[in-house]
Amino acid sequence: MLHQSRNLVEAEGTEQLEELHEQVGLETAPATVDPLQQTVATALQQYLNHPDVARKQVLDAIRYVNMPMMFTQLSKLRDSYGAFQQDSNAKGFVDTIGAMALNYGNEVQRGPRGKATKG
């Protein structure tokens, strides 16, 4: 009987330890960034020294684009990038991303159990 109790305690301890490892892993795992975000960040880098766009605005836009995004943000980014590909208006594109950053702020993807994932 004592042996069975010890096995039960060990099993519960192991299960709790596994849950703790999983939780720590989820909290420290980097959040995924959509490939579109990487594409946009690369496109923005080309405009760092463009005379029509302030360098600081471009850097802020790149920082924002590199953060994990919610689906609605990705959708807006996809639409904005599509418009940029059509008209090549770098200033308008950077302004749109700046407006997104103000509008959405630091909203990030939510992982399991409602915890924010880190980027």
List average pLDDT for each run of 10 residues in the chain, which is 119 residues long.
Answer: 55 65 55 92 96 96 95 96 97 97 71 44
Q: Contact at 8 Å (CB) between 12 and 37? A: no
SS3 30: strand
Where along the chain do its domains lie?
Answer: 1-30, 35-110
**For residue 19, what pLDDT is reported?**
72
Query: pTM of the prediction?
Result: 0.65
Strand partners, 110: 116
**For residue 53, what pLDDT is reported?**
95
Residues 6+ apart with CB under 8 A from 60: 98, 101
**For residue 15, what pLDDT is reported?**
73
